[in-house]
Amino acid sequence: MIQQLQVVQQLQSQRRKRGVILSSRGWQRLQAAEQRLAEQSNAGKPHTLEQLGELTDLSPNTITKVRRKRLAVDRQTLELYFNALNLSLNPNDYISLDPDTIAQSLLRKPLQGQLSLDSSLYIDRPPVEQLVCEEIMQPGALIRIRAPQQFGKTSLMTRTLAWAQDKQLSGTVLSLHLADAAVLSNLDRFLRWFCAVITQSLQLPHQVDDHWDTIFGSSYNCTRYFESCLLPEMNAPLVLALDGVDILFHYPDIASDFFGMLRAWYEKARYGNSTSNAWQQLRLMVVYSTEIHSLSDLNQSPFNVGLSVELSAFTREQVLDLTQRYGLEQTECVEQLMELLGGNPYLTQTALYHMSTQEISLEQLQHQGIASNGIFGAYLRQQFAQLQLYPELLAVLKVMTQSSEPIDLDPLIAFRLQSMGLIRVFDFQGTISCTLYRQYFERALRMSAVVNA
C-alpha cells in the first residue's frame, strides 16, 4: 500500500492535467440532441462540422476531438457544446482523466466483475451501445447479449438499464446465479422463485401463491402472473434484465420450458390482440456466456429472435484509449499488448492496472505472464479447468498450440472455442487468439500429459 501511495504521489506531481472525455451516457444525449436539432432546423439532415462550429463557438477540430472520445478536452468545452444544444452538462455525461481521478483509481483493487456506472475505464464498442439503447425503447423488445466470461456483458447491461431509466422506463436485474440448487430442482419451484424475486425487486405485493393453480402448469401460471399482477402495476415500460442465464443450460428440463416461455412472451407482444399492449410494456435483456447446446428446439427459444449482440475483443484503438485512461504515457506498448493479450478485455484491464501501479513492467509481463503466481494465474487456471470438461476441445487446442499456421476446424468445435474467446476463426480456419493463451496452453497440456503418462 505504501508503494502504491508513492506511485500515486508521483503521478500527481508529474502528469499534466488531462481534462475530460464524454461518457457513454453523455455521447448518447449529445447524439439525440443533434438529431432533434437537425429535424427542427435542417430538414432532418445532420449538421456539418462547420455548422456545429458556428453554433457552439468551437472549432471543427475540437468538435471532432469531443466526438471521438479518445483525446481529453477541458470541461468548459463540453459545457459550450451541450449548452448550444439546450442541454445541461451533468456529472454522468463525462469521465475525468485528471491526475487526481486517475490516482484515486489506482488505490482501488484490480477490476473484479462489472464496472461501476461512473467508472472512467468503461470502453465503448460502437455501434453496440447505440444499437442496444435504441432497441430497448421498442415495444416488446428482446435483446441478447453474449460474450465470453469477463468481456463486459454485465457492464453493458447495467449501462443500458441506467440509460432506459433515465428515459423514464422502469427496470430491474435478476441474476440467475442467485438461484440455489433447491430452486433449480424443478420447473415449478424455479418459476415461483422467479416471480417472487421480481415482485420483491419491484416492491409490489407478493401474490404468487394466490395466482398459482397446478391445473394450468407452471409456465402458464408464470405468464398469467406477469400479465395480471406485474405488468398492469407498472406506470412505465419494464426492462427486465436476466443476467447469467447460461446457468440454466446445465438444467435442460428447466431451460427448455423457461426459454420457450420467454419466446412466447416476445411473440405475445406481436399478436395484435387485447393482451399485446401489456406484453409490449415488457423489454427483455438476456445475458449469457456459453452457447446453447442443451436446447433441442431452437425455434421455441428466444435465441434466434430479437436483437443479438456479441461483444468482441478490444481493437487496437480501444486498447490505446484504455492505456491513456490509466494515465500511461508509453502508448508504444499497445502493439505488444495486442500481440500478448489479443484485446481480451479482462486481461487488458488487469495488465494496465498493474502496469499503472508500477507493480509490473511490460517486459516482465511478456516473460512472466503465464506464471502460476502471476497476475493472470488464477484466470488461466480457470480457463484450463473449464476445458477439462470437454476433451474434444482440449485435443483440438493442443494441435493449434503446436501449429504456427491456422488449421482447418470442424465448424461446431470452432464455434465453441471461439465462444470462449480462445481462438479466432477465418474461413473455417482457426488460430489461438493471443500469445498468452498459446504459451499457457502449450505448457499446461504438455505438463498434463507428463502427469497422466
Mean pLDDT over all residues of the chain?
88
Residue 308, SS3? strand
How many whole angstroms separate alpha carbon 345 and alpha carbon 156? Answer: 13
Query: In the structure grid, which three cell numbers stand for residue 290, read together?
Result: 456459453
- Output the CA angle 162-156-292, nearest 5 degrees: 125
pLDDT recorded at residue 206: 93
Residue 37: which residues within 8 A CB-CB, separation 6 or more? Answer: 47, 85
Lowest mean pLDDT of 176-180, 275-279, 341-345, name the range.
Answer: 275-279
Please check whether residue 316 lies inside any domain of the structure. Answer: no
The string of pLDDT tens digits covering residues 208-233 is: 999 999 999 999 999 999 999 999 99
Please check whether residue 7 lies inside any domain of the structure. Answer: no
From 255, 290, 310, the end of a domain falls on: 310
Please check whether residue 255 lies inside any domain of the structure. Answer: yes
pLDDT category, 15, cuts 50, 70, 90?
A: very low
Backbone phi, then psi, for 174, in 5-degree steps? -125, 115
- Output the CA angle 297-301-303, nearest 5 degrees: 110
CB-facing half-sphere around the CA of 38: CA atoms within 13 A: 13
pLDDT at 203 over 60: yes
Query: In the structure grid, which three cell numbers stand for residue 90, read together?
Result: 451533468
Q: How buried is 163 (Cβ within 10 angstroms: 0-12 exposed, 13-18 middle, 19+ buried)?
A: buried
Backbone phi, then psi, for 268, in 5-degree steps? -60, -35
Q: Which CATH number do you get for residue 420?
A: 1.10.10
Say how many domains are in the chain. 2
From 273, 295, 310, the end of a domain falls on: 310
The answer on 298 and 170 residing in a single domain is: yes
| Short-list 103, 78, 107, CA closest to 90 | 78
For the chain, what percent of residues have pLDDT higher than 90? 66
- Output the CA angle 169-93-61, nearest 5 degrees: 130
The answer on 267 and 407 residing in a single domain is: no
Q: Which CATH number do you get for residue 256?
A: 3.40.50.300
Please check whether residue 135 lies inside any domain of the structure. Answer: yes
Domain span holding position 227:
128-310
The answer on 291 and 149 residing in a single domain is: yes
- Give Cα separations from 180 to 65, 153, 248, 366 (angstroms): 49, 22, 11, 41
Mean pLDDT of the region 389-415:
93
The answer on 301 and 179 residing in a single domain is: yes
Residue 297: which residues within 8 A CB-CB, separation 6 or more? Answer: 256, 260
pLDDT at 11 over 60: no
The answer on 284 and 140 residing in a single domain is: yes
The answer on 419 and 303 residing in a single domain is: no
pLDDT recorded at residue 297: 58
From 310, 337, 365, the end of a domain falls on: 310
pLDDT at 339 over 70: yes
For the chain, what percent of residues have pLDDT higher than 70? 88
> Who has greater pLDDT, 344 or 7?
344
pLDDT at 254 over 80: yes
The answer on 395 and 301 residing in a single domain is: no
Please check whether residue 143 lies inside any domain of the structure. Answer: yes
Lowest mean pLDDT of 1-10, 238-247, 336-345, 346-355, name the range.
Answer: 1-10
Mean pLDDT of the region 136-151:
95
How many whole angstroms separate alpha carbon 248 and alpha carbon 436? Answer: 31
Mean pLDDT of the region 193-204:
97
> Who has greater pLDDT, 238 or 66?
238
Please check whether residue 437 lies inside any domain of the structure. Answer: yes
pLDDT category, 255, cuts 50, 70, 90?
A: very high
> Who has greater pLDDT, 446 or 28?
446
The answer on 146 and 248 residing in a single domain is: yes
Backbone phi, then psi, for 206, in 5-degree steps? -80, 115
- 174-203 exposure pattern, b = at least 16 Cβ within 10 A, e = fewer: bebeebeeebbeebbebbbbbbebbbeeee
The string of pLDDT tens digits covering residues 312-325 is: 999 998 998 888 88
Cross-strand pairs, 22: 94
Backbone phi, then psi, for 314, in 5-degree steps? -65, 145
| Short-list 15, 20, 322, 368, CA closest to 7 | 15
Lowest mean pLDDT of 93-102, 244-253, 257-266, name the range.
Answer: 93-102
Mean pLDDT of the region 61-83:
88
Please check whether residue 231 lies inside any domain of the structure. Answer: yes
The answer on 401 and 270 residing in a single domain is: no
| Short-list 395, 426, 391, CA closest to 411 | 426
The answer on 194 and 291 residing in a single domain is: yes
> Who has greater pLDDT, 72 or 189?
189
pLDDT recorded at residue 6: 47
Residue 384, SS3? helix
Please check whether residue 276 lies inside any domain of the structure. Answer: yes
Mean pLDDT of the region 23-38:
85
pLDDT recorded at residue 291: 62
The answer on 157 and 304 residing in a single domain is: yes
The answer on 250 and 171 residing in a single domain is: yes
> Who has greater pLDDT, 93 or 150?
150
